[in-house]
Amino acid sequence: MSRPPRFIVKGKSFHGGAIQVQGSELHHMRDVMRLAPGSAVSLLDENGIEYAGRVERFEAEHALVSIIATPRPLPSQATGLVLAPALIKGARMDYLIEKAAELGAAEIWPLLCRRSVVRDPGAERIKRWQRLATAAAKQSLAPVISEFHSALTVAELVRAMPQETLAIFCAADAEPLSVAIRRMPRPRQILLACGPEGDFDDEEKSSMIKAGFIAAALGSNRLRSETAALAALSIAAGALDELYRGS
């Protein structure tokens, strides 16, 4: 049985047993998907609560959706995944962001590395990435919508590292990433730092190691930056799934 399409709503959109869907989500529901009154939908708010609903009617500036089941929090990963990818050019970075959201990255922290070609993307680019991540999470029915940190250097990343985080940076000639995750106590959060095409420089690697980061490899192939970041995220998600299923 197919799942109903998902739309994003704000808490202030609630009115009794119904929700008003507005703006771009209204456009997607009414003009892109061409849903009709009576259509089943899934609504997700900013707190990760999912509502099963049915379209009652369309007005000029909103759709009215009735709630037809008890709201429920979406299941979340016991360990959150944070991706810190080096900034890369245009469409490749957009692709990385979209796929990272599909794979369930809870947060994305863009990195300004010394060997990066791209510099600070600016607020408008961050907003674009947030829109891409939101759309990808809707399409893939991911349990979370990725949140974005402003771009930061490796030195700033080291200083901003939350406690109880297993911090890993991708490197050749290290133990495999899946092995590194499986041999560690289950952390509250895993952060995966992936460098630019020319890799992190020696000073960046040294600062991460001093801060407690672990080096981990993704295999023997030489990967492009976006491929490495998505491979790291996928491997980490798979290793965590195996760990928790086996508990």
Average pLDDT of span 18-43: 90
pLDDT tens digit sequence for 63-75? 999 999 888 776 5
Q: What are the residues facing 19 on neighbouring strands?
A: 14, 65
- 174 vs 209: CA distance, rounded Å: 13
Dig out the tokens for 161 from the structure. Answer: 């590292």
Q: Would you state the pLDDT for residue 191? A: 95
Phi/psi at 164 (5° precision): 60, 30
pLDDT tens digit sequence for 96-112? 999 999 888 989 999 99
* More confident position, 242 or 170: 170
- 131 vs 102: CA distance, rounded Å: 13
Q: What does pTM read for this prediction?
A: 0.76
Q: Would you state the pLDDT for residue 11? A: 64
Phi/psi at 130 (5° precision): -65, -40
Candidates 74, 77, 75; CA nearest to 244 is 77
Whether the predicted pLDDT of 1 surpasses 50: no
Average pLDDT of span 145-174: 90
Banded model confidence at residue 80, pLDDT cuts 50, 70, 90:
confident
Q: Would you state the pLDDT for residue 244? A: 64
Average pLDDT of span 206-219: 94
Mean of per-residue pLDDT scores for the chain: 87
Domain 6-73 = CATH 3.30.70.890: no
HSE toward the beta carbon, residue 173, CA cutoff 13 A: 0
Q: Would you state the pLDDT for residue 245? A: 64
- Residue ranges of the domains in the chain? 6-73, 80-245
Q: Would you state the pLDDT for residue 48? A: 72
CATH class in words for 80-245: alpha beta
pLDDT tens digit sequence for 116-156? 887 778 788 888 888 888 888 877 777 777 888 889 999 99
